[in-house]
Amino acid sequence: MDEKEIEDLLQKYYLKDMHYEDGKILGSMYTKPPEIALKAFFKFYQANLGNPGLYKGTVEIEREVVKFLLRLTSGKDDFFGHVVSGGTEANVIALWAAREMGYKRVLATQDAHFSIRKAANLLKLSLENVEIIKGRMSIEDLERKIKGGDIIVATAGTTPLGFIDPIEEIGKICEMHNCFLHVDAAFGGYVIPFLRELGYTNKKFGFDISAVRTITIDPHKMGMAPYPAGGIVSKENIFEKIEIEAPYLMVGKNEGLLGTRQSGSVAAAYAAQLYFGWDGYREIVKKCMENTNYLVKRAREENFEILEMPEMNIVNIKIKNVGKVKKELYARGWGISTNPKYSSLRIVVMPHVTKEIIDEFLGELKNIKKS
Ligand code: PLP
């Protein structure tokens, strides 16, 4: 086929997909990255940090991204980290390393991301659920269930509700029982530091809580980077616990989960971080929170019930027959997600979810309710 034919064919498929710039993807934790990040992606598409000896420049870039992740998580510059494919891989790596250190059982709430269940399953770690109170891990139930040698997974920005588990208190309990505390801040890691600066919260989630050993924090969510760009940072070198000999590679070993790693996205995450900077990310969070509050206010004006006041830019609207409404919205071109457990529509107020989009969406929802 010649290039034109290929382009035409690709375009046909492209038009079947949804795109962030259309504004109608309301249930996703991603958004359209800035052009400079996409340029960086293509410039570095050949880089493969699975074989870092060949890509010294990209190794340096990865360290710059990790340094920024450590700044967001109140870590120190000499802590450890990698940019990985996403939050799922980051969570698997953290739990794998903890298992190699001798920890055997995982305690997490049912609102922890499914990757925690997946990791426990893969690693043959037993998993016990800690009860949820008001959308957050119950301290009383944790105290009842915790045993020495457990891995506790706390979430800073839960997938369904965007709530922050009480990590400071969880940390104290972990220290009393010599447990391993992993914080999944895949989404909230790029939000909470700015919510603090903007006066929305004073909660901590990072290494300023002494029990925290590892944190998942993803540039490809609120870091505005194109995927695949998750992040895993740690206080001690967890990567040496899971490294494996790989004589055919330049450095002779592999210290993660994947072999070949698409690393254009590492350069892209760096470009996004340079483009926005700390203040730029704060502005993004400020805008997303303004739109979050706008959505809550407008939804209430239209007599919809908000499940709980959002803690970050994730809003849940309580709806009867939520599965049916989701299908109806989908048929009208909206990419919405639901929380069947809470009987709610879940809207992640990413930068592409503007006030205009919110108004259009609520109008559509009103029509569906009437019909
Ligand atoms: N952790 C949390 C809290 C998440 O919300 C998600 C995804 O939504 C993940 C982990 C998994 O991230 P990924 O889809 O990048 O693997």
Q: Taking the mean position of all CA atoms in its chain, how far away is CA 194? A: 16
pTM of this prediction? 0.97
SS3 347: strand
pLDDT at 169 over 90: yes
pLDDT of residue 370: 86
Average pLDDT over residues 315-322: 95
**Ligand 1: centre distance to CA 148 (Å):** 27
Instruction: Establish whether this prediction's ipTM goes over 0.85.
Output: yes
Contact 103/149 with Cβ under 8 angstroms? yes
Q: What is the mean pLDDT of the chain?
A: 97
Give percent above pLDDT 90 in the chain: 99
Q: How many A from CA of 232 to the centre of ligand 1?
A: 12
- Spatial neighbors of 232 by CB under 8 A, at least 6 apart, are 81, 82, 84, 89, 90, 93, 94, 214, 215, 216, 217, 238
Q: For residue 87, give the ligand 1 atom closest to its CA.
A: 12
Report whether 90 contacts 84 (CB < 8 A). yes
> Going by CA atoms, what residue is nearest to atom 12 of ligand 1?
87
Task: Tell me if 29 CB under 6 Å of ligand 1.
Answer: yes
Q: Judge whether 215 and 183 are in contact, CB under 8 Å.
A: yes
Average pLDDT over residues 281-299: 98
* C-alpha 275 to ligand 1 mean position (Å): 24
Mean pLDDT of 147-166: 98
| Best mutation site among 187, 215, 314 for ligand 1 pocket (most ligand atoms within 8 Å of CB) | 187
Nearest partner of 206 among 223, 181, 227, judged by Cα: 181
Structure tokens at 76: 């120190």
Tell me the CA–centroid distance for residue 86 and ligand 1, in Å: 7
Of residues 198, 194, 229, 175, the one with CA closest to residue 29: 229
pLDDT attached to residue 369: 87
- Backbone dihedral angles phi then psi of residue 299, each to the nearest 5 degrees: -65, -40
Q: How many helices (H) and strands (E) does the chain have?
A: 11, 15
d(CA 90, CA 81): 10
Mean local confidence (pLDDT), 150-175: 98
Q: Specify the pLDDT at position 246.
A: 94
What is the mean predicted confidence (pLDDT) over 35-60?
Answer: 97
